Structure 1
Amino acid sequence: MKAFLFDLNGTMIHDMDYHTSAWQHVLQTELGAQFSWEELKPQMYGKNNEVLMRLFGPEKFSEPEMECLSIIKEARYQEEFLPHLQLLPGLAEFLKQANERGILLAIGSAAIPFNIDFVLDNLHIRHYFQAIVSADDVTLSKPHPETFLKAAEQLGVAPRECLVFEDVPKGAEAAQRAGMQTVILTTTHQVEEFTHLHNVVHFAPDFTDPFMQRLL
């Protein structure tokens, strides 16, 4: 493989519970909406406005209202998660080794630039990535393949030469539709949730898994 494409949330950092917690807090305090953890967790993918539309329907909020709720939610998320911000075990060394071997690296995430910058700049890893595709850079979120196809295009490599690192079925499906194989980090979903996908080459709890070294 000439390039590694990384999802961010749940793949590079273990933060999905903090996103769920932030949404739960904001929806309750700002809207008085009582969603249980079990109701919210399956909705934690895609852009923030897509999350709101899945929860409340497409007609509930205007674009400015959704943008306002999104800003409040992201501020809450960053405040709660910052003391715990760290890369998954083994990822720092994996990025360093991939970079030394000339493997191109990109981020393809449904996160907004505000959150991507929060991670890259606080952890001082921006210099590893030659391309970053965020929620603001695509029209259609995962499972549409646009995110990963744009990342490959920015790197100048063919989709078949890219390996995707993901943690959710929708992301793995996006990789499959882009013609890319994927390694799944089992931070947020169980192995059996990916059985309908045929592009998964390995499941790993983190980047200390011996399989990761074989990729280099």
Structure 2
Amino acid sequence: MQTINIPVPSDVKGLIFDMDGTILDSMPLHHDGYNHALARYGIHYPRDIFESRGGIPTRDTMSIIQEDYGIVNFDIERALEDKKAFVERNLERTQMIEPVFEIIKDYHGKLPMAIGTGSNRRVVNELFERFSLGQYIEHVVTATEVTQYKPHPETFLKCAELIGVRPVDCAVFEDGKPGIQAAKAAGMKVVDVTKYL
């Protein structure tokens, strides 16, 4: 089996990671969760559109879907609950993305690290427990703690503040376009992990 090496910029003082699609291979599960929730409306949410919106919180994405498809009588609260319940019931489908996890293990205790994710705190807590991420990463900023989401830089700026590193001295590991835009807007170095996986 070939080892995949993802480069870490040498001149950084802190590392920030997106979670879904970067540390954890959870994007297929989230995509299936959307389609499960939207099935009652006869909607199939295409994978490419889903991926282009990676990092945007579920509530905002559901609102966009409602507009895109002109769904009448859309019960967003039920759709959100249906998606969340589907994801929580199927968390065992989530796998660690090993090349990224290797970076986390290699830099543990060497550089401060944080996770900046568009997921909500409850799901993050469950995944942290399942994968024992807390032993490596202490600081996490979720959609629950911010008012503006990726591609806005607030998530990553809060991460930098929590780890005590200037944004310009941080590297962000991301897989989604909104997250990459957010990291650049924050003035941080960006590693697009999709180029290596």
> Is the shorter-chain TM-score for this pair beyond 0.5, marking a shared fold?
yes
Given that residues 183 and 204 in structure 1 are in contact (C-alpha distance below 8 angstroms), is that contact kept between their aligned partners in structure 2?
no
Query: In the TM superposition, what whole-angstrom CA distance separates every residue of 1:11-46 from its partner, at most 9, and x where no partner exists?
Result: 0011212111111111113xx232243575244441
Q: Aligned pair in 2 of structure 1 residues 184, 66: CA closer, same or farther (>3 Å)? A: same
Q: In the alignment, which residue of structure 1 is the partner of 2:104?
A: 95
Q: In the alignment, which residue of structure 2 is the partner of 1:77?
A: 87
**Does residue 23 of structure 2 align to residue 12 of structure 1?**
yes
Q: Aligned pair in 2 of structure 1 residues 36, 131: CA closer, same or farther (>3 Å)? A: closer
The 5-angstrom pairing of residues 1-216 of structure 1 reads 1-29=12-40, 32-38=41-47, 41=50, 42-57=52-67, 66-82=76-92, 84-101=93-110, 103-186=111-194, 203-205=195-197
Identity %: 27
Q: Secondary structure at the match of 1:57?
A: helix
Segment drifting more, 143-152 vs 16-25:
16-25
Q: Which amino acid aligns with 1:113?
A: R
Q: Aligned pair in 2 of structure 1 residues 133, 54: CA closer, same or farther (>3 Å)? A: same
Task: Give the number of aligned pairs.
Answer: 183
Unaligned runs of 5+ in 1: 187-202, 206-216
Q: Post-superposition shift, 1:60?
A: 7.4
Q: CA separation in 2, counterparts of 1:96 and 1:153? A: 22
Given that residues 118 and 142 in structure 2 are in contact (C-alpha distance below 8 angstroms), is that contact kept between their aligned partners in structure 1?
yes
User: What RMSD over aligned residues (CA atoms) do the two structures have, in Å?
Assistant: 2.3
Given that residues 63 and 76 in structure 2 are in contact (C-alpha distance below 8 angstroms), is that contact kept between their aligned partners in structure 1?
no
Q: Post-superposition shift, 1:97?
A: 1.8
Q: Post-superposition shift, 1:112?
A: 0.4
RCO comparison, higher one (Cα < 8 Å, 6+): 2
Q: Secondary structure at the match of 1:90?
A: helix
Q: Which amino acid aligns with 1:111?
A: S
Q: Which amino acid aligns with 2:175?
A: D
Q: Post-superposition shift, 1:52?
A: 1.2
Q: Post-superposition shift, 1:3?
A: 0.8
Q: Secondary structure at the match of 2:108?
A: helix
How high is the TM-score relative to the length of structure 1?
0.76
Given that residues 13 and 87 in structure 1 are in contact (C-alpha distance below 8 angstroms), is that contact kept between their aligned partners in structure 2?
yes
Q: List 4+ stretches of structure 1 deviating above 6 A.
A: 58-62
Q: CA separation in 1, counterparts of 2:102 and 2:193? A: 16
Q: Aligned pair in 2 of structure 1 residues 12, 34: CA closer, same or farther (>3 Å)? A: same
Q: CA separation in 2, counterparts of 1:35 and 1:44? A: 17
Q: Which amino acid aligns with 2:196?
A: A
